[in-house]
């Protein structure tokens, strides 16, 4: 009863911000993302009667209790599988966690796939995305590769809220997502807490919801047509709208730091210079920059020259979560 899975982070092009339900986790709006090769989590799960409690170790740090309730998610999978055992979980990521880089997306998708296999579950990818969503909403998108849409659904039981692939990783190989690392420490307000605060206290939140469907239509169509400008312009605007709701929340939520603004202004200057580069940001200070292969070297060069940039990670459209043979313990 042991299995290992790997999963890539995903970066949303149309953002998910806000829950209409916390149990089960259900989003206020749909979202579209790119699964990013280059930001990967590997997780090994073993169920055994020799374990008296769940043990979860992430990047050499033991998690006894956390906001995301990893132990509770393992219990959820056990209940679905009909087993009453405790698990040992070892997980490693090759990029900073809890810093606005979608580490929970790769983490929970790898955990869910490995735990489901170790528990003996035989479920479809759609069902796996539904189970994953109950641990971390955006993680349901990392079950799939390439470009992915998470349907918000309408039913209260969450049976119609799941992710599915729009196109696979090979459909648009020229698309690039360059992740800039400006800060690796844990962000002051978690995504989960920030969402709840925004939904409850932002006077502009209804305006955000009213514009999401048109963004989804534009990005979905743009991906299928390989229309970079349509996708990137919409994605940048979606990120700015999401952060505007945070800033207008009481008390305000501000993830941006000076280095974030330095990158944003650099990207805008790139466009002035004729380079097709656009930015997006999740709930954290680290900015992601979209471009095509032809501009990849110049964009990377300019970003790495900025004072606030510690390093960059070049991401291409990547694989969805998958099982692997090499265990971490």
Same domain, 136 and 179: no
- Same-domain check for residues 164 and 284: no
329 lies in some domain: no
Give 10-residue mean pLDDT values along the chain (329 residues).
97 97 95 95 97 94 80 96 97 75 86 98 97 96 98 97 98 97 83 93 97 98 98 98 97 95 98 98 95 98 97 96 97
pTM, rounded to two decimals? 0.95
Which residues contact residue 228 at a Cβ distance below 8 angstroms, ignoring those fewer than 6 apart?
175, 222, 276, 290, 292
Instruction: Give me the residues paired with residue 58 across strands.
Output: 61, 91
- CATH number for 131: 3.30.230.10
The reply to whether 201 and 264 lie within a common domain is: yes
The answer to the question of residue 325 being in a domain is no
State how far the alpha carbon of 72 is from the alpha carbons of 56, 64, 78, 83, 84, in Å: 12, 11, 10, 14, 13
Are 20 and 162 found together in one domain?
yes
C-beta atoms surrounding 122 within 10 Å? 8
Specify whether the CB–CB gap between 276 and 295 falls below 8 A: yes
Question: Is 328 within a domain?
Answer: no
Residue 58 CA to residue 23 CA, distance in Å, equals 25
- pLDDT at residue 185, rounded to an integer: 77
Residue 134 sits in which domain range? 2-169
Contacts of the segment 200-204: beta carbons below 8 A, 24+ positions apart: 201/249, 201/250, 202/245, 202/246, 202/248, 202/249, 202/250, 203/248, 204/244, 204/245, 204/248
* Residue 184 pLDDT: 78
| DSSP code of residue 49 | T
Tokens matching residue 322: 């998958």
Tell whether 156 and 42 lie within a shared domain. yes
Cβ neighbours for 249, distance < 8 A, ≥ 6 positions apart: 197, 198, 201, 202
R_g (Cα) of the chain, nearest Å? 19
What CATH number is associated with residue 215? Answer: 3.30.70.890
Token pair belonging to 157: 């039981």
Cα→Cα distances 183→7, 42, 155, 186, 315, Å: 23, 22, 39, 9, 18
Helices and strands (H, E) in the chain, number of each type: 8, 14
291 within 8 A of 275, measured Cβ to Cβ: yes
CA atoms 207, 213, 217, 219: torsion sign: positive
183 and 131 in one domain?
no
**Does 45 lie in the same domain as 190?**
no
Q: Looking at 169, 192, 214, which one is the last position of a domain?
A: 169
H-only helix segments in the chain: 70-81, 103-118, 125-133, 191-201, 205-225, 228-247, 258-272, 293-304
How many domains in the chain?
A: 2
225, 308: one domain = yes
């Amino acid at each position: 009863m042991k299995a290992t899975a790997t999963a890539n982070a995903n970066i949303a092009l149309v953002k998910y911000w806000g829950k209409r339900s916390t149990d089960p986790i259900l989003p206020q709006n749909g979202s579209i993302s790119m699964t990013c090769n280059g930001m990967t989590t590997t997780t090994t799960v073993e169920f055994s009667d020799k374990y008296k409690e769940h043990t979860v170790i992430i990047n050499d740090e033991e998690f006894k209790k956390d906001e995301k309730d990893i132990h509770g998610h393992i219990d959820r999978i056990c209940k679905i599988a009909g087993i009453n055992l405790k698990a040992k979980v070892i997980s490693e990521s090759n990029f900073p966690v809890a810093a606005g880089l979608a580490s929970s997306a790769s983490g929970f998708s790898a955990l869910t796939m490995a735990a489901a296999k170790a528990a003996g579950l035989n479920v479809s990818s759609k069902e796996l995305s539904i189970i994953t969503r109950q641990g971390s909403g955006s993680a349901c998108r990392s079950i799939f590769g390439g470009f992915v849409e998470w349907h918000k659904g309408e039913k209260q039981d969450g049976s119609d809220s799941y992710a599915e692939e729009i196109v696979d990783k090979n459909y648009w190989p020229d698309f690039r997502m360059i992740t800039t690392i400006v800060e690796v420490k844990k962000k002051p307000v978690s995504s989960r807490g920030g969402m709840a605060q925004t939904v409850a206290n932002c006077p502009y939140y209804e305006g955000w919801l009213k514009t999401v469907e048109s963004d989804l239509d534009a990005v979905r169509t743009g991906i299928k047509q390989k229309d970079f400008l349509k996708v990137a312009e919409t994605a940048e605007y979606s990120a700015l709208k999401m952060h505007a709701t945070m800033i207008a929340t009481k008390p305000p939520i501000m993830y941006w730091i000076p280095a974030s603004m330095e990158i944003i202004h650099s990207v805008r200057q790139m466009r002035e210079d004729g380079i097709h580069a656009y930015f997006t940001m999740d709930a954290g200070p680290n900015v992601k920059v979209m471009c095509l292969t032809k501009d990849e070297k110049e964009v990377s060069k300019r970003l790495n020259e900025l004072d606030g940039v510690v390093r960059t990670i070049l991401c291409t459209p990547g694989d969805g979560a998958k099982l692997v043979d090499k265990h971490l313990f």
